[in-house]
Amino acid sequence: MSLYEIRDMAIQIDGKRLVEGVNISVEAGKCTAIIGASGSGKSLSCLTPFGLTPGEALGSIKLDGIELIGADAHQMHKARSRLTGFVFQQPLTALTPHLTIGAQLQEAAAQAGPSRLSRHELVQKLERVGLSRADERLDQFPHRLSGGERQRVMIAAAIAHRPKLLIADEPTSALDASLRGEIMALLDELRAEQGLAMLLVSHDLASVEGHSDDLIVMDQGRVVESGSTADIIANPQEDYTKRLMAATPRLTEPAPDLPAVGNMLMETEAVTVIFPRPGWRRGKIEAVVDASLTLSEGEAVAIVGGSGSGKSTLGRAIAGIGPLTSGTINWQGEVLPERRARSLAMRRLIQPVFQDPVASLDPQWRVSDIVAEPLKNLRPDLLRADRDGMVEKALDDVGLGAEYLERVPTSLSGGQAQRVAIARAIIAGPQLLVLDEATSALDPLVGSSILQLLAQLQRANGLTIIFITHDIASARRLCHRIVVLDEGRIVEMGDMAAVIEHPNADTTKRLIAAS
């Protein structure tokens, strides 16, 4: 019998059924993964059996022989605290800020019994999850640790009381791409070593592949497909799974057919961006150092790197919406000055699209005003009627009908909001789009449709694109060339296919491994 077995579970909140007909079984030492878009009910299915959501679970849920449905408070507490460990998505908020790492671990371990662990044992636990200088870490507060380190502490705390089941709810989604592989490898290792059963939740097929034995695909509160991970990936049965597979960019898929590249369009020479260090300490942060790159007409260049590598800062400097300390940006022989000095004609050339689609639209404005904003400033020659016509056409170009004109951003889904942001970017007829992680915050299916839209616009309008991302696989669907940044410096640059095949820099290798 499986360690953790869910039979025919339904979940309702306030009498509304949100999840139905879910069967999950996890055996000791094995990993079952649940994937699905946001709102598919995957997290709900994982957390509700333990009373961690407002929902109510119906059906049968057995953990180590204990029936959780209808269990009394004592049994429930035992199931939650002794038998189960939890790792959540946000390592930054999941640790209590005013407790030292040692205190957090001690608290977690106390779930198993009243005996306190010695300092030596705590050090061992931190070392087990691959944290360096463990002894020193015990006395530090969570804010001193980086995201990856905090997630390691979370994992150490989750397994400190030797649970039998580990529930990992998107454990790597908030982490830097190059760290994801390491954290997943650590979880695999611990699972094998301690015979843990693991339930892994993810929105991303690529991140569970190779780490889970069984796979459950959920959509809109229902299980679409379940079975062994290898089988499903090799031979998906259901339409939804097939679409999800197709939407997940892979490095192994055939190279895309990209449009031809024209003459030189833009060239940056030794672009450097330096920020003063915040607070009382004197000093500077070198966000981008000596970045020189070229861009031709109709070309798409990927700027990739981990978080804090300066890729967004470089993109913003080019787009004229961020500071530029030194260096020049040449646009067909003309120098583009820094931020506030740019003329309207220069603004018209380059338009940005941002990562968080909802935050990039003013919540107080209507879609029609948002899309028309660049036209009002950059094309003052247009009459109002022409402008309205162009707004409708731009929305049509990004696949949204006229019924969206009167909507407000809060009533749009992430994908729709990103389409509106793209419509705003293309309406004034720019030559270069700077896409800053434009697909990273979206679900795989939505993200891939946005990528498709971009590829279509690239072809139809002869757009040049700078595609800033941490995900090489999705960049490959759109880009001719790749520029790899690490700590503000360009460490590798070249043809997309060539770099993927023979990466030189360590950063590139890590990013490729994570894709």
Partner 1 sequence: MSGQKPHPSPSGEGPGVGQSKTVSHSPTPTPPLKGRGYSKHWPLWVVLVLIALALVLPALLPWTYDQIDWDAVRAPAFSGSHIFGTDEIGRDRLARLAAGTRVTLMVAIAAALVSLVVGIAWGATAGWVGGKVDEAMMRFVDALYALPFMFIVILLMVIFGRSILLVFVGIGLVEWLTMARVVRGQVMALKERPFILAAEAAGTPPLTIILKHVLPNIAGVALAYLMLTVPQVVMVESFLSFLGLGVQEPLTSLGILVKEGADDMDMTPLGLLLPGGLLVLLLVCLTIEGERLRDIYS
Q: Which of residues 223-282 bind partner 1 (CB under 8 A)?
A: none
By CB under 8 A, is residue 94 in contact with partner 1?
Answer: yes
By CB under 8 A, is residue 102 in contact with partner 1?
Answer: no
Helix (H, G, I), strand (E, B) or coil at 418: helix
By CB under 8 A, is residue 182 in contact with partner 1?
Answer: no
By CB under 8 A, is residue 25 in contact with partner 1?
Answer: no
By CB under 8 A, is residue 354 in contact with partner 1?
Answer: yes
- Alpha carbon dihedral 471, 472, 474, 475, in 10-degree steps, equals 110
Shortest reach from residue 135's CB to partner 1, in Å: 28
Among residues 35, 46, 51, which one has the least CA distance to residue 9?
46
List all residues 6 or more positions away from 111 whose beta carbon is below 8 Å from its beta carbon. Answer: 81, 82, 160, 161
Among residues 165, 169, 160, which one has the least CA distance to residue 191?
165
Among residues 80, 25, 92, which one has the least CA distance to residue 53?
80
Among residues 50, 55, 62, which one has the least CA distance to residue 25?
62
Stretch that binds partner 1, among 26-34, 71-79, 115-123, 359-367 (CB under 8 A): 359-367
Neighbouring-strand partners of residue 493 = 483
Q: Report CA torsion sign: 343, 344, 347, 348.
A: negative
- DSSP assignment letter at 340: G
Give the containing element (helix H, strand E) for 366. Answer: none
* Amino acid identity at 178: S
By CB under 8 A, is residue 12 in contact with partner 1?
Answer: no
By CB under 8 A, is residue 89 in contact with partner 1?
Answer: yes
By CB under 8 A, is residue 304 in contact with partner 1?
Answer: no
Stretch that binds partner 1, among 38-46, 102-110, 239-247, 503-511 (CB under 8 A): 38-46
Tokens standing for residue 81:
């605290």
Shortest reach from residue 124's CB to partner 1, in Å: 25
By CB under 8 A, is residue 97 in contact with partner 1?
Answer: no
Closer to partner 1 at the Cβ: 2 or 325? Answer: 325
Closer to partner 1 at the Cβ: 2 or 12? Answer: 12
By CB under 8 A, is residue 65 in contact with partner 1?
Answer: no
Shortest reach from residue 80's CB to partner 1, in Å: 10
Q: Which of residues 123, 289, 390, 412 is near partner 1 by CB under 8 A?
A: 412
By CB under 8 A, is residue 55 in contact with partner 1?
Answer: yes
Q: Which of residues 7, 8, 38, 270 is near partner 1 by CB under 8 A?
A: 38
By CB under 8 A, is residue 407 in contact with partner 1?
Answer: no
* H helical segments located in 129-195: 134-137, 147-158, 177-194
CA atoms within 13 A on the CB side of 130: 15
By CB under 8 A, is residue 363 in contact with partner 1?
Answer: yes
By CB under 8 A, is residue 43 in contact with partner 1?
Answer: yes
